[in-house]
Structure 1
Amino acid sequence: VSVNRETKLKIPKILSGPASVLALYTVVAFSGSLVATPAAQAGLKLCNKTNNLVGVALGYKDQKGWASEGWWNVDPNVCQTLLEGPLIARYYYIFAIDYKEGGSWGGSAKLCTREKLFTIRGIKECEKRNAKRTGFYEVDTGEELDWSISITSAEKSEKPAQ
């Protein structure tokens, strides 16, 4: 028995530069069968479906507590693995920056970030640790072992969600 499923969730954000709208799509393509997915194929992947280089920060909760880390530089029209192996949490958190246009994809989940490469444990007192509180977008993986997130530029005619 085989199941194919794909879901998308769009969260528009307006760029600070040109009046374009960017959308974040959470996409899962799940193919289940009676055979387990090999661990080498499992993980969290981010696909940059824009024409610009983006920087990505990731947040998650593991056995040691909350963590945030960054930056992955993801080239245009490239997918990059952020976490290898089966996913251990249901929720992951993404913040991305469009280096060329200056826009960002984020949300209301506050985690700590720094401008340069970082791994930060904990989500409290960011400023006291020379970090800043940044709004990340929550991704619900539904406890799947493998998940893909795509960020893309929306069509200019598309209106922001109300």
Structure 2
Amino acid sequence: MKQAIIPPIMALAAIWAVMTPARADFRLCNNTSSRVSVSLAYTDGETWVSEGWWNLKASACETLVRGPLAAEFYYVYAMDERGGEWKGKAFMCTRDREFRILGREDCFVRGFDRTGFFEVDTGKEAKNWTVQLTDPALVRPSP
């Protein structure tokens, strides 16, 4: 009976595939025509954390959270260099320069800004997620 011989390259590829962990990240892609600044907020079940800023060039993507997603809901606020915003009704603490803030209460009292973030529902089973920021559609008045 003949034994199958596995070429060394295929064996190495099989080992690499088993050893390489699956990618699991929270990413944000800037599909707009201008640079955007992004902040992210989430909870670990006990503490709220907001952090920023990531600056993304037009047509660029950035990983904001590395590894499997620990939360079902993430919150994003972004603004572009022309004054455009992607915002929502979930208020978190931010500031103008780089930050990592614990807690979302009493932002003004603690010396921070209070900013509305939009909610991203990644689902209960998601291990990775990508948010796509796009230019707002042009609204044309009807004739």
Provide runs of 4+ in structure 1 moved above 2 Å: none
TM-score normalised by length of structure 1: 0.70
Cα distance, 1:158 vs. partner?
A: 6.5
Deviations 1:101-143 (A, max 9, x none): 1111010000000000000000111012110110000000002
- 1:126 and 2:107 correspond: yes
Select 1:145's aligned residue among 127, 130, 135.
127
- Whole-angstrom distance in 2 between the partners of 1:52 and 1:92: 24
Residue 43 of structure 2 corresponds to 61
Distance, in Å, in 2 between the alignment partners of 1:152 and 1:69 is 22
Residue 91 of structure 2 is aligned to residue 97 of structure 1:
no
**Percent of matched pairs sharing the same residue:** 44
RMSD in angstroms over aligned alpha carbons? 1.6
Q: Are 2:65 and 1:83 aligned?
A: yes
Residue matched to 1:116: 97
Name structure 2 gaps, 5 residues minimum. Answer: 1-19
Which secondary structure does the structure 2 equivalent of 1:128 belong to?
coil
Letter of the 2:73 counterpart: Y
The residue number in structure 1 matching 2:55 is 73
1:63 Cα deviation from its structure 2 partner: 4.9
**Alignment partners' CA distance in 2, 1:94 and 1:50:** 16
* Structure possessing the higher radius of gyration over alpha carbons: 2
Rounded Cα–Cα distance in structure 1 between residues aligned with 2:99 and 2:71: 21
Q: Which residue of 2 aligns with 1:107?
A: 88
Q: Give the superposition deviation at 1:39.
A: 4.6
Gaps of 5+ in 1: 1-37
* 1:29-63 deviation line (CA, Å, top 9, x unaligned): xxxxxxxxx65510100000001000000000015
Q: Number of residue pairs matched?
A: 121
Q: Which TM-score applies when normalising by structure 2?
A: 0.79
CA distance in 1, matches of 2:21, 2:50: 23
Q: Which moved more, 1:130-139 or 1:58-67?
A: 58-67
Code of the aligned partner of 2:61: C
